[in-house]
Amino acid sequence: METEIKIHIAAVIVGFFLDLWIGDPERWPHPVRAMGWLIGRLEGMFRKIFPKTPAGELVAGGLLAAAVTAATGGIVTAILIAAGWIHPALRFFFMCIMSWQALAAKSLKTESMKVYDHLMREDVEGARWAVSRIVGRDTKPLSRDGIIRAAVETVGENTSDGVIAPLFYLLFFGPVGGFVYKAVNTMDSMVGYRNEKYLYFGKIPARLDDLANLLPARLTGFLLIGTAFFLPGFDGKEAFRIWRRDRYCHKSPNSAQGEAACAGALGIQLAGPAWYFGNLHEKPWIGDETRPVESEDIRRVNRLMMGSAWMALGVGIVSVVWFVGI
């Protein structure tokens, strides 16, 4: 048992470093793309089978959630079992690769820093295009400050979805847990909208994502606050104060946890009204506008994200070791 736990932790560490080193090159195959393909195919199939009524769409969305999570967990389990039959080293290899592919710290930094690079060249249209790749809102109405806020918010929110949450599930439930979490998160990003098309169909996948992120999102808030206390240039006290005050200033119970901590640590105001699918949504502001946002805030929030990732790895390993009594 102890040997298996040590192998498990070693695989997560290797995957963590592979993510920081390689990230997610665009032309390389990635399991999330396969998950997206599966979700799209099953959505089309279930919509044809079930009636286009609130009850029918609710059942269809629930079956989608069950099918995608079961398929993901089953495939990962089968791969690891088959690899173990061939050789334990091959199983460890797949564990490392799966841990790497479940994490997204470098890709989150890389994509958000493309926005920063365009802004540094005074290429606002290029920055608007770059931020459109990482946010779900309409980006045409965004001003320069709006583009910066959108990039910072994305890093703050996705510190949980792309880094802390998958790391949590990898450490405590292995590659199967990490990949099932990614499947749930991918479903939410594809069908978890509160618009006419997905109001009922996407309800169960969205609630499943809320449940899966309930603990990791709050851990993310604490980790970002802790990082703000340790790293120079950030305000840990304000990060904690704003997190306590604004952590529920979002329709999702989880999304504002990281955003609020980042807003306080940086001393800026995030969120506010935003356009989605051509409609303006009045959203509350997060944080206090102690100073205007600036391009450097994108670099700063990435330092916070990376610092919290390292802290999460260390705290997570210690927690697993303590929990199993190694």
pLDDT of 8 higher than 90:
no
- 281 against 109, higher pLDDT: 109
For position 173, what pLDDT does the model report?
94
Kindly give, in sequence order, each residue whose CB lies less than 8 Å from that of residue 123, ignoring residues fewer than 6 positions away.
Answer: none
Q: Is the pLDDT of residue 66 over 80?
A: yes
Mean pLDDT computed over 56-76: 96
User: 270: which strand partners?
Assistant: 286
More confident: 278 or 306: 306
pLDDT at 276: 65
Does 281 score more than 70 pLDDT? no
| pLDDT of 201 over the 80 cut | yes
Distance set, CA 161 to CA 169, 186, 224 (Å): 11, 10, 14
CA 183/CA 235 separation, integer angstroms: 35
- List of residues 6+ apart from 39 with CB closer than 8 A: 64, 68, 186, 187, 190, 191
DSSP annotation string for 163-219:
IIHHHHHHHHHHHHHHHHHHHHHHHHHHH---STTTTTTTHHHHHHHHHHHHHHHHH
Per residue in 287-312, pLDDT (tens digit) is 888 899 999 999 999 999 999 999 99
Instruction: Please state which of the ranges 18-22, 136-140, 158-162 shows the lowest mean pLDDT.
Output: 136-140
Distances (CA, A) of 66 to 62, 202, 245: 6, 13, 36
Percentage of the chain lying above the pLDDT 90 cut:
71
User: Which DSSP string do the residues of 239-292 spell out, in sequence order?
Assistant: HHHHHHHHTT-SSSTTHHHHHHHHHHHHT--EE-SEEETTEEE---EES--SS-
Q: For the chain, what are the domain ranges? A: 2-324
> What pLDDT was estimated at residue 279?
62
Write out the two tokens for 247: 């952590």
Contact 257, 224 (CB under 8 A): no
Please, which residues have CB within 8 angstroms of residue 291's CB and are 6 or more apart in sequence? 267, 268
Q: Is the pLDDT of residue 116 over 90?
A: yes
